Chains A and B, each alone.
Chain A
Amino acid sequence: MRKLFLLSLIALLPLGLIPVNASYAAGANKVIYHVNLGNEQATDALRNIQNHLAVDPTAKIVVVTHSAGVDFLLEGAEDKNGNLYSGPVAALAAKGVEFRVCKITLERRKIDPKKVIPEAKLVPSGVVEVTKLQQEGYAYLKP
C-alpha cells in the first residue's frame, strides 16, 4: 500500500500539485556556470557542461564570464594544447548553452568588443548577471 501512495505521489509530481516540488522543478535545471579565473577554469567549465548536458539534455545553462574569465571567448583563443576554444563553444551554443561576457571587464582591460566571438553575448556586468540569474532561480556552479 505504501507503494501505491508513493506511486500516486510520483504521478502528481509533474502536475505541480506539491508546491515544494513545483518550485524545485521550475528551477531545477537552470544553471549558471561562473567563469572568472581564466582559460584553465574555462576548459573545466566546458567539460563539465558537456557532461551536464549528457546527463540532463534539457538543462538551461548560462555561462557568465568576467575578469580573466572572458579570455576564452575572444577570437583566436586557444587552450593549453593549442586547440581553439571557439569549436567546443559553438558546439555547446548549438545545444542552447548561452555565453555571456562582462562589458565592464572589456572596458577595464581595453579589449575591443569586436574581438568577442559571435556565440557570446555582451552583458553590462558579469557580477550583476550572476546576481540576477540567481534571483530568477538559477543554481550556481563554480567550475
Chain B
Amino acid sequence: MSNEEQKFSDEFINAFVDDQLTPEEKAQVYAHLSGNEALNRQICELRKVRDMVQLAYKEPPLPERGMASFAAAGRKYAVGLVAGLALVIVGGMGGWFLHQPRAPQDAAVAQVMSNPEEPAKVLFHVSDGNTEHLKSVLDDVEDLMKYYRRLHQKARVEVITNGEGLSLLLAGISPFAERIQKMQKEYHGLTFVACQNTIDRYQEELGLTAKLLPGVVTIDSGVAQIMRRQHEGWVYLQV
C-alpha cells in the first residue's frame, strides 16, 4: 500500500472515469497515473465496468418506457380506470390473437436460421490455458466449421481468448501454432481474437511482451467484445 493510493477517494476516481472532474483535478490524476500501477489498474477496471454497463443499456428497457407513457397519458382517476379496463380487454384480445400464430412464427424463425445467405454467427470464449483443454476447443471449433461447410451454410466464427486462454494464440508458446494457421487458411469465416487487456496485464505483471500468431486479431477487451457480439445476435459458448 503506497500513500499515493490513499490520495484519491473512490468517488474521486469514479468521477475521473466518468469524465466529471475539472481539468486541474484530471491533471492531478494523470500526474499520479504514470508511477502508480495499482491506481492504473483500478481505473482500467472501472472503465471496463463502465463500458459494459453502457453496452448493457444501449437498448433502453422497453417495459419502463411503456409504463411511463401510460402514466403520462392519464391524469384523472376515472380516465385511469377506463384506460385500465380498456387495456385489459384489448390485452385479452391481443393475447388471444398473439397466441394463435405461434407455430407459424416459429417456423418462420427456423427458416431464417437455415437460410444459407444469412451467416451463422458463433462465439467461442476461451479462458483456460490447459493444453489438453485447448486441443479439445480446437476440435470443437473445427467440427463446427466442417458442419457448416457440409450444409453449405455461411458462418462467422470467432474464438475469443482472454486470461490464460491467450496462450492459445501466443507465438513461441502455443502448442497449436501450425494447426491454427491451417485452420485460418481452410476456413475464411474463422477468426482468432486476443484480448488487449490480457496482453497489457501480461506485460505489467510478468514483463512479457506478447507476440501473437499471424492473422490473430486484437480487441480492446474480451469481455466487452463478448457482450457486443451477444447484442448483435451471436450465439455464445464458453469452452
Contacts and interface: CB of A to CB of B under 8 A. Distances in A.
B238 A34 contact: yes
A8 B101 CA distance: 25
Interface string B129-153: 0000100100110011001000000
Contacts of A2: 71
A36 B136 CA distance: 10
B77 A1 contact: yes
Contacts of B87: 8-9, 11-12, 17
Contact of B95 (A16, A104, A124, A135): A16
A86 interface: no
B147 A128 contact: yes
Interface in A11-25: 11-12, 14-18, 20-22
A36 B143 contact: no
Interface in B81-102: 81, 83-85, 87-88, 90-92, 94-96, 98-99, 102
A21 B80 contact: no
Given A108-B139, A131-B120, A135-B235, A11 B144 contact: no
Interface string A66-93: 1110000000000000000000000000
Nearest to A32: B237
Given A17-B95, A128-B144, A5 B70 contact: yes
Given A15-B92, A128-B147, A140 B63 contact: no
A125 interface: yes
B162 to A, nearest CB: 15
A108 B146 CA distance: 15
B74 to A, nearest CB: 7
Contact of A36 (B63, B92, B98, B239): B239
Contact of A17 (B81, B91, B113, B239): B91
B67 interface: yes
A37 B91 CA distance: 46
Chain A interface, >50% SS class: helix
Contacts of B143: 104, 125, 127
Nearest to B86: A8
Q: Contact size class for A? A: 35 or more
Contacts of A126: 140
Nearest to B97: A16
A34 B236 CA distance: 11
A135 B80 contact: no
Interface of B: 62-63, 66-67, 70-71, 74, 77, 80-81, 83-85, 87-88, 90-92, 94-96, 98-99, 102, 106, 109, 113, 120, 122, 133, 136, 139-140, 143-144, 147, 235-239
Interface of A: 1-2, 4-9, 11-12, 14-18, 20-22, 26, 34, 36-37, 66-68, 104, 108, 124-128, 130-132, 134-136, 140, 142
Closest 8 CB pairs of A and B: A15-B95, A8-B84, A12-B91, A17-B91, A16-B95, A20-B62, A17-B94, A16-B98
14 contacts: A4-B77, A4-B80, A5-B74, A8-B88, A9-B70, A16-B94, A16-B99, A17-B87, A17-B91, A21-B63, A66-B140, A67-B140, A108-B139, A125-B144
